[in-house]
Chains A and B, each alone.
Chain A
Amino acid sequence: MKMLAVFEKGPRLRLIGHLDLMRAMQRALRRSDLPIRYSQGFNPHILLTFAAPLNLGAVGEREIMEVPVEGTVDPAFFLDRLNAALPPDLKILACRAVEDTHKSPMALLRAARYSAQPEGGADDVAPFIGPFLAQKTVPAVKKTKSGEKEVDIRPMIHELSCRDGRIFATLDLREESTCKMELLLDRLYAFAGLETPHFLVRRLMLLGEDGNAFVPLEDV
């Protein structure tokens, strides 16, 4: 059996990297004394995968991880035990048990919803959102391991809006097509002719697909 757990990576931990977070979660699992599974091989490690690494600097409100366990574990018990073993800024919000054959969250992931809070509010950029979305293409330069690559990010943007001084967006997040919130904001402010301000990014939710509609990844 595998556990699908929704967890929060709080503001204090936004500058803790992916590997550090992974290790912190593994240690918490050890402390929890839950029947976790280890890999085979010379240096066994705890089996644990995250749906998607979070950009350094961002807060994760509903991140998702998969934890294979031995036998059957009650999800409510798993949630309580693990929460008792976690530091204050990491918290399990929900948990669901699935069969080992259930596709991994990484494979089911399609998109993510974000918010960004620009320093000094979003009033200046708000009027430009409509015209920005009206563009047929939005060329952007993506930095990849093999160098820089020009891509059109317009088809990766599923939603873009502004409310209460915050910018909200739903963006592609899958292997063949990913647009980071930081890249979108960079293009949006350039379009508006404004200097990109400092902002705090929150990943609000990871999304999978049900038919043609996005649904929370943990429900897929």
Chain B
Amino acid sequence: MEALLEAKLEKLLEQVQKPARYAGGEMNTSVKPFDEAELTFAFCFPDTYDIGMSHLGIKILYHIINKQPWGLCERVFTPWPDMGDAMRREGIPLFSLESRTPVRDFDLVGFTLQYEMSYTNILEMLDLARIPLYARDRGEKDPLVVAGGPCAYNPEPLANFVDAYMIGDGEDVMVELCAAVREGKRQGKSRLAILEDLAAIRGVYVPAFYDVCYNADGTVKSCTPNRPGVPAKVQRCVVTDLNGAEYPESFPVPYTDIVFDRIVLEIMRGCTRGCRFCQAGMIYRPVRERSLDRLLALADSLEKTTGYEEISLSSLSSGDYPCLAELIRALMDRYQQKRVSISLPSMRIDNIVKQSLEETQKVKKSGLTLAPEAGTQRLRDVINKGVTEEDLIRAVTDAFESGWSTVKLYFMSGLPTETDEDLQGIADLCKKTVAAYFSVPKDRRARGLKVTASVSVFVPKPFTPFQWVGQDTLEVIRGKQERMREYMRLKGVTYNWHESTLSFLEACISRGDRRIGDVIYTAWKDGCRFDGWNEHFRYETWLAAFEKCGLDPAFYAYRVRPLEEVLPWDVIDAGVTKEFLIREYEKALKGTTTKDCRKGCNACGLQRWKGACPAYENARGV
């Protein structure tokens, strides 16, 4: 940034909230000289520093790009509205934290899509960076705007703003994509020629190379390549060997408080349980484990380079990690002396090992979070959650006996086939949890029971067996929430519910088509940003944006889609096949469960790709 702007920025930072968010210079951040890098990548997280810095993906990809001798990656987060407004007023363009380089001077500007309601922040960041928002308006001098992450599996809502998507595990495709851009730059290729090179890489989707046609009723008719050499369906990337995959040996250590300020060890990727509402469980298939040795080596170097006091084991279902008890014991042995605590955020009810509970709380006690998701066995079978009431009661009783007194229970309302009985079932489970606490003798339980039940609104997601279902209408949701408040007047239980209008918009966008992009643009233009933050969420403005664009939100959120309808995200091959999802959808409506695929292949689709699913190939002796 030029000196004059830098001086303005310094002054401005004294006036905004939490200026430490914009300081940079943290331990273990990149100090490469910007001008010497052959390929520069601005890693943009469309939320605040405190949220973004808690995210594992950014740490992995930041490490990978900076590890390339020719690559440089710097971080950018969305400025909080006070800062964003001040930057506009003072003419300060969006800049990177490391070298304070304007984002528009980077070769690649990459966004991670973790949450649909952060999409307006992407437009806000592009605008603050003075990069044309629509891909078609960008010229040879503008950066290429790329995106990835779980929400990229439906690339259509942002298709008009993104030059190229990376679908699937990012470790390898990120390097391939950066290398291709570097090569294109060296040969002086045009923007279009570089995009053509990118489209040839597995997992890369270039929206401009596909034309979308619609039927008279507004549904998608087709999405087809408009030039040769572009695949009709983009296959997602799969990292088959997690031990061989890159993982950072050091994390940036923030100065300011962030949400998850600790070492994160990803012990496993993917989940074999097959919960039907869960997008992560479908798109991160197959399950892949990191070895005990690799994890201990990573823990060692991360502990040394960060000085963190806590190690968190991360995966979709940590209890399914085969050597969990061994891993926890080894970590405790190594770090108890150094006062490092171990935490396990994603435990399933049915495999909580009492011993591992006791182990992990030796150093520091934290709350226990469990997710039964639904109130009755019938509905848990519909969603294939596969846990029973006995599992839950056993888990909380074990926890109470081991000295825990704070339990959080997560549920969803609005799941397909839900009835009033299922809602009452939620209250019933809470009651039984309280009773389990009192069943433990007074001298053996900790004081101060606190049960928190959070009930969120179900949002159907692409690439799940529920991708065809209609979301409950706002009216129905509100009625259910009102009844829930009655049922949940329970002693010792705190009941939380979620803003239903936010879930409604999330449903519109997550299964949206390319036309939704204009709604997002209009909402942003009319002042929406940080929609996921209560104090900034402006529902009326969003509704008005739909109206201005001539689109009906109910069409996207409420409509039950026929199985034969072309879905906006059909252009992506996520690994799981439509046949599998249909099979699961039909089983759900019948209340039939599907077994954990560790117990035998369910033919979800991953078996089609050679080497992709080790469990399948081991079973077949390949």
Where the two chains meet, the residues of A that have a C-beta atom closer than 8 Å to any C-beta of B are 10, 12-13, 15-17, 20-21, 23-24, 26-31, 33, 38, 43-44, 57, 85-89, 119, 198, 200
Contact = CB atoms under 8 A, between A and B. Distances in A.
B339 interface: yes
B27 A20 contact: no
A52 B304 CA distance: 29
Interface in B377-424: none
A88 B307 contact: no
Interface string B1-41: 00000000011011000011001111101010000000000
Contacts of A44: 339
A7 to B, nearest CB: 15
14 contacts: A12-B24, A13-B25, A15-B13, A17-B20, A20-B20, A20-B255, A20-B256, A28-B307, A31-B305, A31-B307, A87-B25, A87-B26, A88-B25, A88-B31
A68 B547 CA distance: 66
Given A16-B255, A88-B25, A38 B339 contact: yes
Contacts of B24: 12
A188 B305 CA distance: 47
Contact of A198 (B11, B307, B308): B11
Contacts of B19: 15
Contacts of A16: 20, 23, 255-256
Contacts of A85: 307
Contacts of A30: 307, 309, 338
B505 to A, nearest CB: 35
Given A24-B27, A30-B309, A88-B31, 14 more contacts: A12-B25, A13-B23, A16-B255, A17-B20, A20-B20, A24-B253, A27-B307, A29-B307, A31-B27, A33-B304, A43-B364, A85-B307, A87-B27, A198-B11
Nearest to A12: B25
A30 B307 CA distance: 5
Interface string B297-321: 0000000111111000000000000
Contacts of A198: 11
Does more than half of chain B's interface fall in helix, strand or loop, or is it mixed?
A: loop
Contact of A15 (B20, B304, B305, B306): B20
A197 to B, nearest CB: 11
A202 B592 CA distance: 70
A27 B306 contact: yes
Contacts of A27: 27, 253, 306-308
A54 B256 CA distance: 16
Contacts of B23: 12-13, 15-16
B271 to A, nearest CB: 33
Given A12-B25, A13-B25, A21-B255, A31 B20 contact: no
A179 to B, nearest CB: 21
Looking at B23, B24, B27, B338, which has the most chain A CB atoms within 10 Å of its CB? B27
A30 B310 CA distance: 12
Contacts of B29: 87
Nearest to A57: B14
A15 B19 CA distance: 6
Nearest to B261: A23
B59 to A, nearest CB: 16
Contacts of A87: 25-27, 29, 253
B255 to A, nearest CB: 5
Contacts of A89: 25
Given A12-B23, A87-B27, A198-B11, A24 B304 contact: no
Given A57-B14, A87-B26, A13 B255 contact: yes
Contacts of A28: 27, 307
Nearest to B14: A57
Interface string B212-256: 000000000000000000000000000000000000000001011
A199 B304 CA distance: 39
Contact of A24 (B10, B31, B255, B308): B255
Contacts of A12: 23-25
A147 B215 CA distance: 69
Contacts of B306: 27, 31
A134 B192 CA distance: 73
Given A15-B20, A24-B255, A198-B11, A31 B25 contact: no
A209 B373 CA distance: 66
B343 to A, nearest CB: 15
A17 B20 CA distance: 8
Contacts of A43: 364
Given A21-B255, A31-B307, A15 B14 contact: yes
A138 to B, nearest CB: 25
A10 B31 CA distance: 16
B512 to A, nearest CB: 40
A179 B257 CA distance: 30
Pairs A-B, 6 closest by C-beta atoms:
A27-B307, A30-B307, A15-B19, A31-B307, A87-B27, A12-B25
Nearest to B21: A15
Residue among A43, A85, A87, A200 with max Cβ neighbours from chain B (10 Å): A87
Contacts of B256: 16, 20
A86 B253 CA distance: 11
A205 B188 CA distance: 54
A91 B306 CA distance: 17
Contacts of A88: 25, 31
Contacts of B253: 24, 27, 87
Contacts of A86: 27
A119 B10 CA distance: 12
A169 to B, nearest CB: 20
A23 B256 CA distance: 9
Nearest to A27: B307
A88 B32 CA distance: 13
